Structure 1
């Protein structure tokens, strides 16, 4: 494997030489520690990138056994399979040529399901990143069918979106015992809960729920997530039409109706458009939801909607909004690393190699078209499995029909999702400041090149392999996107009329959170979120060279140091700065360096927000699907700015927009407040006494990962503080705890008169369910240690002090050490105020490093995300 772990000269951007040696794939799995060691060497010591690759993309079987040693094995695996498909057609690309585009994530990066699933016969999974489902039948049967289809797709690793506009509004008469309809919100909660129940290799599924502003329940939909305990498993977006926006601008009323598209609706009501707009703005300001979908723009620009009568009418979007889809269509994603096309980055000689970029775009479309063939093979395999399952045909019918419909849409349209990552670093490497007009103009030029070369490649593929089956040029001739191609490249347009096109739609800009961790670049079209992060490490008493910055409550000394965004560090090296010394600089000294860099005033919270929206709109002209992007603004901005940004996005031609106000959303990194002085902190109690335990305690259920194991903790809360804790591996615990978030721990007596702890929770229908014997679901030795720790909690020991006691326990047993880490991870969430899980804590690694970008949460410490 030495060939697979070469040092790469990223500064000079040279392609390393690789031999055509066979990959190290073996039937016998590798040990986790061995893979981590080799993967860290591959990523040049970047433990975060190594762990993300291992946990999300390395070849694994259903038991979690790992069969690849480094990403080089994965790239060989993908290249081998894609080359196999290439050989079916004329002018095939070689396996080695494809591999060299993949290696070290330098040029082409298949995303999500493709990296994990291509060539993986251990699991029955899809290669598609996203799906949309749906029907227009308003009945319980239809609603339950959608619920089952959603779950069936999620268990194959797909993110799902569907629209709720077909459901009749609250209070409508129905022909059953209820007499009137319950409206939208209860079904939002149903679909959300289903999402939380489905595990996808250590993460939960991702769901988008959308609704038309024209629906009479739109206000309830917009408010549904203001209760932080509701609809926690879904993103929500409101579909806004041109008529509504004009009513807002002109101060006019707006008519809602059901059915929303009917010429003779059953229900009509007039509303104050401005008042509802202010609610949308307020909720967006407060919680970053609902997202906004400018539906008329989406439909007008959509090429697939030219085939509406053939089943390609756009119904909703995928969970992060970058792929509007018709029911049962799906898409596979691939990102091009823009930073790698900058020659001599961060120097006065820097330039973008458009010729190389254009050539690689054309190959990327070929690769994506090959992945469609691989996906069809995967779907056939899933269908065969369903047919061979022991369930009755009645039970299997929904799942079987679902995959047959997905396959039909895949074959008929051959939709692809070619995007980019590293745009922020590309601009910085060229000396352009993100958000300026000069930078925007260059970005638009880049995306125009991408669009034209992608469509050129699709036309070439149509000539070699045939057009997508339902292609008809006359249907598309008035589409705005096709017209832009015609105006920019008449010869390409004429060729398209002659040969057709291989793919119905080709382009997107999807979230690349985990992808960018492995490319070590900025994510998608986003600027750098921050260029330096403050981290801490405990000082070993024997380490005489460390700088002591503070002591904690139990007397341990800690050192603070700076870690840098990879390409900012490259800029420092190119400009003569000592990065090792910079890691220990004070904030003022580091700021002086930062101000000289191309990243200054160009990070997520510092860019000109209006200009960022205008940039998104300008780039959208050359993206036939949509763009997942977040406008980050500081905490102090007024609601009026959110309104201004939404309106600018609509006017600029954006298909959707998300604005995130710093600190407004639970679970997201907020700015650190160091204003409290030591003498203002609450004094430690001189004496303690444990409050008596009531029979029933409110309880939170927290899930996390210890290495590759899934763990849970149940935290009993009394007087708004953690009172007791039980924790262990999920497979040792009640299955219900794998998706329930809260409930009650009830202390009872068993038949022998001894204490017994039961867990009670409220199910989806509002009924309380009790599971007896919580204590027996954890290892007895863990239970005894938990009693000791619970005793310290009851006596009000400061959690930071308790965590240090637990963390420093000397336990010889490896399992106990893992359990100890679980306790620390679970209780760390309660450090900020001691009453609830902290808003700035990652659910996996418990670090306060979650950020919100590209419409998605991602942890900058462990890579946790629901997106690709």
Structure 2
């Protein structure tokens, strides 16, 4: 017993002390308090125990204590259920209307005022429960199109997005947590140029992340510098009224479209007749996208054909939207819970020549964590019946990791190097295989996800999508169990077959507890708080010493809080207390070469690391390729094409641009090198560096945050 106590004591003493920014974030985001704001959780360990207890209570009474102990162990080893679980699990006595689910996607927004407003109502209820939500808006007819029922023209999708933006802003203000939304938009839609330019207006759509739905045909048109038609479906009434010839290829194209009801559909192909509104050069449209993301960090892109091709539920879902950060492509009313494992917990002998990653311990934690996340489904707290039905039927969860960049620094591996790609591949593959092995055992113990036992009719479209169905002896009209279509014919599971054939055979016979297992989320506040600022998700550390902009209730602009990377704190704690982040640090105090930062890594190397993980991730990955402000556009403009060639499902970039936005994370040198100009009421112009402090309206602000708050219109509204 004494040896165990000494070992635990040693482990506690070796822990890197929690920095104040991390402790503060835990208190504000995840610590449970009563209605008088008195703490229920006294410390982070209390938060872990609260979550472990409510998840263990899902189990049969005779094994609850066993699993409670295992869940506490896993959380101490860095298995962190995502923010909604940490904040809301076991909190029903204090906030009963909240959910433990992070990710949802709206029901389809049909092209009618009734549908648009119904989805606004549903979204408001979803955001109030603490869930993020995504929508596709290219289902709405373009600006200027005639609306027969109203006898007028429509204002177009972007104007309706403004309604959702205002709703989210209002709900998040009332609920104390910033709402999160994703708006996706088809690259074929006539209003696509307006979508690309939307965030150029100060304060517009700031409650949204934006992503284009890009199909394979568009990418090929870009490569060949071909024309690209912008189209929208035709109703029979339009065809009759205008005398449109459906065989006139100069006016009509037959395209695959999200919605078919109300439009003219080809009997054999299922394609929809679409009016050609205009034709532009695909390369010109691509350049507009890249210019916008270079200057404004939006839109990102989602390769929608690849998302659906690689979807485990390919036989029953058509995915057109994602959660707010893009790591969860979901069908209408789809929902998914998240969780991430802190990889620094498995680095042994850090900062030495004997450093290694403990895969044995990692496998054990993955197996326990898989059970934990599956139990979250039972306490989902989703506000809409359609959301609850969807998550119970498929039991999706998204296990990922955080701290990859920090772990690499501790192992002596430079992020973006060949060794970093190998490590990312091995970690992701191990998580996938161990997760599905646990999913098989859970199916045997508790039963598979209901969709696994449902029967689906083989359609002509399914036969076109999967020629191997015919080779296996299936024909159109055959009824096949979901678990067979899922395990034997999904592209992702076919990749896992190369690693463990028996596992896939067993899954096709028994089914699995869930349809999806892995997803790499950004983990921002979780990495900062309970992770002591390990690197977010799959990212390298943003910087090793920087500022984080946070919203303080009652403060009129955002507040700058100093933060340090976990690896810097660990290196100072374990190796050299005098280690310095400055480029002119004294000899002996210089950080190891593995201490790279996000913008010191070539964008293409960011993509290579993401591609290594995506191969084994069955959902998607939230990844941002950060580039310096002065990074040349010519070197930037083809990064999305490179991501396409590397097999990614999506990609996002960020370049600090003080004229456009003030990011959550800011480097000291960016602030010091940026001059902001304020125009006073008397017409006088005042200049200030971004890091200068300004007294204004009874408060002290950094020049950068004050400028941003006034420009974006959120000053004094927190």
Matched, 1:218 2:199: no
For residues 264 and 159 of structure 1, what CA distance do their matches in structure 2 show?
Answer: 31
Partner residue, 1:111: 82
Matched, 1:466 2:474: no
Give the CA deviation at 1:534: 8.3
Give 1:659-674 correspondences, 5 Å limit: 659-663=653-657, 665-668=660-663, 669=666, 671-672=669-670
Partner residue, 2:610: 616
> Judging changes above 3 Å, is the alpha-carbon distance between structure 1 residues 45 and 300 closer, same or farther for their aligned structure 2 residues?
closer
Matched, 1:519 2:531: yes
Contact 1:252 1:273 in 2 (8 A): yes
Matched, 1:294 2:299: no
Partner residue, 2:598: 604
Partner residue, 1:761: none
For residues 842 and 49 of structure 1, what CA distance do their matches in structure 2 show?
Answer: 25
Contact 2:229 2:279 in 1 (8 A): yes
Structure 1-normalised TM-score?
A: 0.67
For residues 212 and 468 of structure 1, what CA distance do their matches in structure 2 show?
Answer: 32
> Judging changes above 3 Å, is the alpha-carbon distance between structure 1 residues 154 and 62 closer, same or farther for their aligned structure 2 residues?
farther
Q: Secondary structure at the match of 2:489?
A: coil
Partner residue, 2:228: 254
Matched, 1:70 2:29: no
Give the CA deviation at 1:635: 1.3
Give 1:67-466 correspondences, 5 Å limit: 67-87=40-60, 93-103=66-76, 106-121=77-92, 122-123=94-95, 124-135=97-108, 137-199=110-172, 201-259=175-233, 261-262=256-257, 263-268=271-276, 269-308=278-317, 313-375=318-380, 378-379=381-382, 403-466=384-447
622-631 or 92-101, larger mean C-alpha shift: 92-101
Partner residue, 1:22: none
Q: Secondary structure at the match of 2:498?
A: helix
- Higher RCO by CA contacts (8 Å cutoff, separation 6 or greater): 2
Q: Deviations along 1:245-287, whole A, 9 cap, x unmatched? A: 0000011112232136353424224321111111001101110
Q: Secondary structure at the match of 1:306?
A: coil
Contact 1:208 1:234 in 2 (8 A): yes
For residues 591 and 227 of structure 1, what CA distance do their matches in structure 2 show?
Answer: 48
For residues 616 and 79 of structure 1, what CA distance do their matches in structure 2 show?
Answer: 31
Partner residue, 1:508: 519
For residues 191 and 698 of structure 2, what CA distance do their matches in structure 1 show?
Answer: 43
Q: Deviations along 1:174-199, whole A, 9 cap, x unmatched? A: 11345222211101111111111112
Q: Secondary structure at the match of 2:135?
A: strand
Q: Deviations along 1:554-586, whole A, 9 cap, x unmatched? A: xxxxxxx997423223234544x233xx56x96
Partner residue, 2:456: none
> Judging changes above 3 Å, is the alpha-carbon distance between structure 1 residues 128 and 183 closer, same or farther for their aligned structure 2 residues?
same
Q: Deviations along 1:462-494, whole A, 9 cap, x unmatched? A: 111111001123322232211011111112112
Give 1:450-599 correspondences, 5 Å limit: 450-471=431-452, 472-476=482-486, 477-517=488-528, 518-520=530-532, 521-533=534-546, 564-575=564-575, 577-579=576-578, 582=579, 587-589=583-585, 593-594=589-590, 596-599=592-595
For residues 573 and 43 of structure 1, what CA distance do their matches in structure 2 show?
Answer: 6
262-271 or 126-135, larger mean C-alpha shift: 262-271
For residues 171 and 274 of structure 2, what CA distance do their matches in structure 1 show?
Answer: 37
> Judging changes above 3 Å, is the alpha-carbon distance between structure 1 residues 839 and 355 closer, same or farther for their aligned structure 2 residues?
farther
Contact 2:425 2:613 in 1 (8 A): yes
220-229 or 274-283, larger mean C-alpha shift: 220-229
Q: Deviations along 1:388-416, whole A, 9 cap, x unmatched? A: xxxxxxxxxxxxxxx11111101100111
Give the CA deviation at 1:641: 2.5
Q: Secondary structure at the match of 2:314?
A: helix
Q: Deviations along 1:54-73, whole A, 9 cap, x unmatched? A: 11111134554432211222
Structure 2-normalised TM-score?
A: 0.80
Q: Secondary structure at the match of 1:199?
A: helix
For residues 693 and 50 of structure 2, what CA distance do their matches in structure 1 show?
Answer: 43
Q: Deviations along 1:733-781, whole A, 9 cap, x unmatched? A: xxxxxxxxxxxxxxxxxxxxxxxxxxxxxxxxxxxxxxxxxxxxxxxxx
Contact 2:535 2:541 in 1 (8 A): yes
> Judging changes above 3 Å, is the alpha-carbon distance between structure 1 residues 843 and 90 closer, same or farther for their aligned structure 2 residues?
farther
Ranges in structure 1 where 5+ consecutive residues have no aligned partner:
1-5, 18-41, 383-402, 536-560, 683-714, 723-795, 807-821, 847-868
For residues 128 and 498 of structure 2, what CA distance do their matches in structure 1 show?
Answer: 44
Q: Secondary structure at the match of 1:258?
A: strand
Partner residue, 2:623: 629
> Judging changes above 3 Å, is the alpha-carbon distance between structure 1 residues 217 and 9 closer, same or farther for their aligned structure 2 residues?
farther
Give the CA deviation at 1:136: 5.0
> Judging changes above 3 Å, is the alpha-carbon distance between structure 1 residues 295 and 563 closer, same or farther for their aligned structure 2 residues?
closer
For residues 210 and 637 of structure 1, what CA distance do their matches in structure 2 show?
Answer: 27
Give the CA deviation at 1:53: 1.1
Give the CA deviation at 1:429: 1.6
> Judging changes above 3 Å, is the alpha-carbon distance between structure 1 residues 586 and 158 closer, same or farther for their aligned structure 2 residues?
closer
For residues 704 and 192 of structure 2, what CA distance do their matches in structure 1 show?
Answer: 36
Give the CA deviation at 1:93: 4.1
> Judging changes above 3 Å, is the alpha-carbon distance between structure 1 residues 439 and 502 closer, same or farther for their aligned structure 2 residues?
same
Ranges in structure 2 where 5+ consecutive residues have no aligned partner:
234-254, 258-270, 453-481, 549-560
> Judging changes above 3 Å, is the alpha-carbon distance between structure 1 residues 179 and 87 closer, same or farther for their aligned structure 2 residues?
same
> Judging changes above 3 Å, is the alpha-carbon distance between structure 1 residues 302 and 676 closer, same or farther for their aligned structure 2 residues?
closer
Partner residue, 2:681: 718
Give the CA deviation at 1:84: 1.1
For residues 44 and 159 of structure 1, what CA distance do their matches in structure 2 show?
Answer: 32
Q: Deviations along 1:779-823, whole A, 9 cap, x unmatched? A: xxxxxxxxxxxxxxxxx99999x97889xxxxxxxxxxxxxxx83
For residues 15 and 432 of structure 1, what CA distance do their matches in structure 2 show?
Answer: 26
Q: Secondary structure at the match of 1:496?
A: helix
For residues 716 and 474 of structure 1, what CA distance do their matches in structure 2 show?
Answer: 66
> Judging changes above 3 Å, is the alpha-carbon distance between structure 1 residues 717 and 93 closer, same or farther for their aligned structure 2 residues?
farther
Partner residue, 2:242: none
Q: Secondary structure at the match of 1:501?
A: coil
Q: Secondary structure at the match of 2:399?
A: strand
Partner residue, 1:692: none
> Judging changes above 3 Å, is the alpha-carbon distance between structure 1 residues 805 and 284 closer, same or farther for their aligned structure 2 residues?
closer
Q: Secondary structure at the match of 1:209?
A: strand
For residues 13 and 69 of structure 2, what CA distance do their matches in structure 1 show?
Answer: 13
For residues 69 and 833 of structure 1, what CA distance do their matches in structure 2 show?
Answer: 32
Contact 1:361 1:453 in 2 (8 A): yes
Determine which of 655, 660, 668 is the counterpart of 2:649. 655
Contact 1:197 1:204 in 2 (8 A): no
Contact 2:143 2:191 in 1 (8 A): yes
For residues 459 and 676 of structure 1, what CA distance do their matches in structure 2 show?
Answer: 55
State the number of aligned residues. 628
